Amino acid sequence: MQIRILKSDGQIEPYLHTKVLGSFNHALSHTGDCLYVAEQMAEAVTFYLYRQVQHGNLSTDEIHQMILTVLESMGYARAAAALNEHRLKRKLQRKRIDVIDDVARQHQVTLSTHWDKTCIVRDLISHHNMDRFLARAIASAVEEKILNMGVTKVRKSLIHQLVIADTESMLEANRQLAAI
């Protein structure tokens, strides 16, 4: 049975052990523990999921809660709190970012929408016939750059340029991997 994850934007993706591993590694990076501890915890979550989950679909919130529970039960309550705080901070950052339309700006009209990386995914799939997973990876990379800027307003033209740059980079990486 393939476990599927319901993302916060409503999309469904296959469960990826590496994302759980990344979450544990991020949480434990503040404690000085090695990757081995994160790997063992991620293995425990993945093993549990494949043995216990009957319906095959879980939300990202449910996975996050499992990660917090494992961290706390293994004596890493501070790491769990830090991971949860990081997640909440990211959600808040996303909600505070407004996307400004460049054309409206030229006409002294303020038209803006809230940040939503799903718009990038939809555009890459519909206009460029791109694979959903590659489109999500590009959108995530662009979102990371936007969040790291710490801005509350971002122009569509900047987002467009970031999408172009990250698309070129990821397509080149795909070509290199295919050549191996």
Q: In this predicted structure, what is the pLDDT of residue 30?
A: 78
Burial 132-143 (b: 16+ CB within 10 A, else e): eebbbbbbebbb
Q: Which two tokens stand for residue 73?
A: 């039960």
Whether 53 has a pLDDT exceeding 80, the answer reads no
Q: Give the residue-averaged pLDDT of 59-86.
A: 94
Per residue in 15-49, pLDDT (tens digit) is 999 999 999 999 998 787 778 999 999 999 999 99
Residues paired with residue 12 on neighbouring β-strands, in sequence order: 6
Q: In this predicted structure, what is the pLDDT of residue 111?
A: 61
**Quick one: which of 163, 63, 66, 74 has its CA closest to 121?**
163
The Cα–Cα gap between 69 and 23 comes to 13
Apex 81 CA angle, 77 and 83, nearest 5:
115
Whether 107 has a pLDDT exceeding 70, the answer reads no
Q: In this predicted structure, what is the pLDDT of residue 38?
A: 93
Query: 3-state SS string over 22-55?
Result: HHHHHHHCCCCCCHHHHHHHHHHHHHHHHHHCCC
**Quick one: which of 158, 177, 156, 165 has its CA closest to 138?**
165
Lowest model confidence (mean pLDDT) among 11-20, 75-84, 97-106:
97-106
Domain ranges of the chain: 4-92, 97-179
The dihedrals phi and psi of 73, each to the nearest 5 degrees, come to -70, -20
Whether 139 has a pLDDT exceeding 70, the answer reads yes
Q: In this predicted structure, what is the pLDDT of residue 110?
A: 54
The sheet with strand 4-6 has its strands ordered as: 12-14, 4-6, 57-59
Q: How many CB atoms lie within 10 A of CB 112?
A: 16
More confident residue, 106 or 60: 60
What does pLDDT average to over the chain? 90
Alpha helices in the chain (DSSP H): 17-28, 35-52, 60-73, 77-96, 102-106, 117-128, 132-149, 156-179
The Cα–Cα gap between 64 and 137 comes to 20
Give pTM, 2 decimals. Answer: 0.79
Q: In this predicted structure, what is the pLDDT of residue 92?
A: 94
Q: In this predicted structure, what is the pLDDT of residue 54?
A: 67
